[in-house]
Amino acid sequence: MTTTATECYAELTRDHEERIRLAVPAPRPPADRLLDPRTGTVAIGRYADGTEAQALLWDADGAVHGRIAADTGAGSSTLIDHLLAAEHTSPLIESWAAAPYGIRPGLADHTASTRGETLDLLREAVALLNQRLADTDFTSGPYAPTPERPLISITLADWPRLAAGAPQIRHLAGEIACAGRPAGIGLRAEGKGELPTSIPLQAHLRHVQLIVLGTRHTPGLGVIGQAPFAFAQKFRTWAPQL
């Protein structure tokens, strides 16, 4: 085989071995142990070698936006539950969540399930964003959330459904995606597969961490980043909480 063919075969072999090791999802550690406030990361699952997969919520420049791309049945709802559970245990984070299918009770500080409620939630977020950006004490120096000024983590589950035919929701979410980072307001948009380009949020999500959950046959199997799914290091989210 040529070098390229040999490398491709090696990658496919590694991919197969990873899938075997990740066939059974690991039980989730206690929610209050998932978040590391020193690094702004939250453990969302484990890799085949046993190390934890980490999602970044903030860094020294502010909130880090997130995008979850997943087909129906691929485990995005379970991943969101784990993220919200971890955030809920920390005084450094307020979780706001909008989801047409609802959010598990007790996991978010501010929830919305209808378009009207989502609009109110986003308006409140934009008002807070503008207030924080006007405060030079807040925006000067490296960013670090505090209990008095927590990171606002906004989850928009099933974003294409929330935004379709709702220009005000798209506009407000776009404002947060563009300006929320230094204000400590992060946006996490979840959609089935790639977010449609007709919904402009995707173009605004700078400093975004992409999580792709790839298959309904193994729910929770995913990769972090832009690498092709077949060749990227895979993790599996924690087992669902019953």
On whether the CB atoms of residues 208 and 57 are closer than 8 A, the answer is no
3-state secondary structure of 152: strand
Report the candidate in 25, 55, 26, 24 with the shortest Cα–Cα distance to residue 39.
55
Gap between the Cα atoms of 163 and 75, Å rounded: 21
Question: CATH number of the domain at 3-237, please?
Answer: 3.40.50.300
Burial annotation 142-169 (CB, 10 A radius, 16+ → b, else e) = ebebeeebbbbbbbbbbbbbbbeebeeb
Query: What pLDDT was estimated at residue 197?
Result: 40
On whether the CB atoms of residues 120 and 62 are closer than 8 A, the answer is no
| Residuewise pLDDT in 10s, the chain (242 residues) | 455 766 665 665 666 677 778 788 899 999 999 999 999 999 999 999 999 999 999 999 999 999 998 888 899 999 999 999 999 999 999 999 999 887 888 889 999 999 999 999 999 999 999 999 999 888 788 999 999 999 999 999 998 888 888 999 999 999 999 999 999 999 999 987 555 444 455 555 656 888 989 877 788 999 998 766 667 889 999 999 87
Whether the predicted model's global pTM rises above the 0.85 cut: yes
- What one-letter code names the amino acid at 35? L
Q: What is the CA radius of gyration of the chain?
A: 18
